[in-house]
């Protein structure tokens, strides 16, 4: 079996295709999210919550996390308010004590801010007798300066398994509008993908598609992100789960082709050969590595 070095990041998630946002002030919506097939549920204390309801929403989320049915979700994250806000510290404490699997950090723009948050988390973990470094951070890049600093942000803390992209705030920041073609996002999305792999972390997660009634547009947008190198997509409605899963789940044909490549290469290695040809195409280490990643993902999705 071809060995691939594991990527950096705490609490590595097995499934990461769909990241479903649920507002922290709606108990019923959070309960319904537990019944979906979303890979990850994000309790939102930031954009979805009016300013005068922030403290109440935090308490609602804490209460929800203490209930037994919350374990139905495979992976739970908390999007806190930005680190410069008065709500941030209380949000993080609530998430850690509620045993969420990680913190989504909005408006991530500077590596120094990431390092400050890392230090705060370390102090909190020590206070609560948790393993230091066990709580992952997921920076959400939503501005021009955030995109510009994305490599330094990705390198700022070993707590960071991957980045994510917020296009709505980003397009506002660069004074343009979202389009069906998505050309205004191409630079930022490509930069996040490149920064992630250059920093040695996992592939990033793509922005939400706001028109949840438009399945054709969602499919087109998701396929575009997958081609660029994203490894999942944030979503805002359960009806978006299946289309996104279909894009980020290897098809039977893809799995069969990947297995053929890996098996052929293993046989070549046993013969002492390096690069080989298969079905008229050259097969070398990068091609085999990609095929092995497809097989690993397929296996992980079937086991969980």
Other CB atoms within 10 A of residue 210 CB: 13
Structure tokens at 7: 């990527």
At 144, list the tokens. Answer: 């021009």
Could you tell me the two tokens for 213? 């009634």
Annotated binding site for substrate: 79, 142
Q: Per the annotation, where are the binding residues for Mg(2+)?
A: 142, 169
Q: Which residues pair with 276 in a beta bridge?
A: 283
| Secondary structure element (H or E) that encloses residue 217, with its range | helix 215-228
Q: Which two tokens stand for residue 165?
A: 């992209």
Nearest C-alpha neighbor of 204 from the set 183, 185, 177: 185
- CB-based burial of residue 134 (10 Å sphere; 0-12 exposed, 13-18 middle, 19+ buried)? middle
Q: Are 2 and 270 in contact (CB under 8 A)?
A: no
Mark residue 280 as left, alpha or beta (left: phi above 0; alpha: psi -120 to 50; beta: remaining): left
Tokens of 95: 């998430």
Q: Which residues are annotated as a binding site?
A: 79, 142, 169
Q: Could you tell me if 37 and 248 are in contact, meaning their C-beta atoms sit under 8 angstroms apart?
A: no
């Amino acid at each position: 079996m071809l060995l691939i070095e594991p990527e950096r990041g705490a609490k590595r998630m097995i499934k990461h295709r769909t990241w479903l946002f649920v507002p922290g002030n709606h108990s019923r919506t959070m309960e319904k999210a537990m019944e979906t097939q979303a890979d990850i549920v994000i309790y939102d204390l930031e954009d979805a919550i009016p300013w005068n309801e922030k403290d109440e929403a935090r308490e609602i989320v804490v209460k929800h996390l203490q209930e037994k049915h919350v374990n139905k979700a495979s992976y739970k994250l908390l999007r806190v308010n930005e680190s410069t806000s008065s709500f941030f510290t209380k949000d993080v404490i609530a998430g850690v004590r509620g045993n969420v699997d990680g913190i989504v950090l909005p408006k991530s723009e500077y590596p120094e801010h990431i390092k400050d948050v890392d230090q705060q988390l370390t102090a909190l973990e020590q206070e609560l007798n948790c393993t230091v470094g066990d709580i992952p951070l997921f920076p959400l890049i939503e501005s021009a300066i955030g995109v510009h600093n994305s490599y330094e942000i990705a390198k700022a803390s070993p707590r960071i398994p991957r980045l994510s992209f917020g296009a709505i705030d980003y397009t506002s920041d660069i004074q343009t509008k979202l389009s069906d073609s998505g050309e205004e996002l191409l630079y930022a999305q490509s930069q996040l993908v490149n920064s992630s792999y250059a920093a040695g972390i996992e592939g990033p997660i793509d922005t939400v598609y706001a028109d949840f009634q438009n399945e054709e547009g969602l499919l087109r947008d998701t396929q575009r992100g997958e081609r660029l190198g994203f490894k999942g997509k944030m979503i805002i409605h359960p009806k978006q789960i299946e289309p996104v899963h279909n894009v980020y789940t290897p098809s039977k044909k893809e799995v069969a082709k990947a297995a053929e490549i890996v098996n052929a290469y293993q046989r070549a290695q046993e013969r002492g050969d390096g690069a080989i040809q298969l079905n008229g195409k050259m097969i070398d280490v990068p091609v085999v590595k990609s095929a092995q990643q497809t097989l690993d993902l397929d296996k992980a999705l079937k086991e969980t």
